[in-house]
A = this chain, B = another copy of it.
Amino acid sequence: MKDGYEIAVVHGDGIGPEVCGAAIEVLNAALDPGVLRFAEYPAGAGHFLATGESLPEATVQACGAADAILHGAAGLPGAVHPDGTEAGVDFSLKLRFGLDLYANIRPIRLYEGVESALAGIAPGGIDYVILRENSEGLYAARGAGSLLRGDVAVDTLVQTREGIERIVRKAFELARLSDGAPEDGVRRVTCCDKANVLRSYAFFRAVFDRIATEFPDIEAEHAIVDAMSMYLVQRPGHYNVIVTENMFGDILSDLAAATIGGLGMAPSAEVGESNGLFQPSHGSAPDIAGQGIANPYGMVLSAASMLDWLGHRHDDARLLDAAARIRRATEEALASGCLTTDLKGSATTRAVTDILCRALAA
């Protein structure tokens, strides 16, 4: 346990500052003054458009030195690199790779009060974690793809034994700590791959199968990625922890978010051995930026994950307790109908922040 923790904050673009601001208010309401010290650093598409640089080296250094990193969202139209990719994504990707944040934990939970896009799903009927490998896979090609004679474009997918082993182990550990799948209470890890067609995914599955033997108390199963995307719609209650390659995790976690009220409800934690980046799954939504109507729940829940991660890491009960209280306040606010427009309600970002802060002060 430390007296206080340095949190590097990168607001980013679009609704980033709005949701990030809300989360900081909530964190401050949940903890005594001084436990968290926030310092802001620039990065993102806006910074790129203004300065030609998406991610200043000073920001990278500060993030690496901080106890944890809080990020809103990044990306704006027009902020594009010469190779056609976006400058807004540099922050996330450079930090993931630079700080080796190999585990991207994306909890998918349908809260009471929130309507699912799926028919016939009750609250509690969806409650699983997508554990996305965050340091290799198809994303290893970021910045390294080639375009030959302007005619042939190549990106390379790389999966390593070490990379697969550590993410699969983490999946089983998460399952062990969980309550199991909603449908049957079974603690279960599903390996999602494309082993039937591609060698690197067959390798992912083979490594998974070997690690699974270390966890005989947890059910292990396979799903091909195409079938998986169907199952997440047809029988989400079956899942507990899903572990998958970077690109597949990216796709499946957005799909999954659609079943629990949308990206605004989807928190995310990206952690490695010694650093953690906490940002919601959603993007910068420039179309609604500045209107005060962004859904801050995903960001607030990401902030709660940050407290959990810091709390476990530093054995600090204050943080674990605050995380639990933020989650409870969130559950209550949603169940009471405090819903933003994306959830078919009319609550503003301010209203959500206030209801959470009031609950935490009580």
Residues of A within 8 A of B (CB): 75, 83-86, 88-89, 93, 115-120, 138-139, 141-142, 145-147, 150-162, 194-206, 225-227, 229-234, 247-248, 250-255, 257-259, 262-263, 283
User: Contact partner of A138 among B157, B159, B283, CB < 8 A?
Assistant: B157
Given contacts A160-B151, A202-B84, whether A197 and B142 have CB atoms under 8 Å apart is yes
Residues of B within 8 A of A141 (CB): 157, 198-200
Q: Are A197 and B153 in contact (CB under 8 A)?
A: no
Given contacts A83-B199, A117-B234, A255-B255, whether A157 and B155 have CB atoms under 8 Å apart is yes
User: Contact partner of A252 among B84, B153, B162, B229, CB < 8 A?
Assistant: B229
* A/B interface sample: 5 pairs, CB < 8 A: A141-B157, A155-B200, A229-B254, A229-B255, A230-B263
Given contacts A117-B118, A151-B160, whether A230 and B255 have CB atoms under 8 Å apart is yes
So how many copies of this chain end up in the complex? 2
CA distance A152 to B196 in the complex (A): 18
CA distance A6 to B297 in the complex (A): 60
Q: Are A162 and B151 in contact (CB under 8 A)?
A: yes
Q: Are A199 and B155 in contact (CB under 8 A)?
A: yes
Residues of B within 8 A of A263 (CB): 230
Question: Which of A115, A202, A253, A283 is most buried by chain B, counting CB atoms within 10 A of its CB?
Answer: A202
Q: Are B84 and A195 in contact (CB under 8 A)?
A: yes
CA distance A202 to B83 in the complex (A): 7
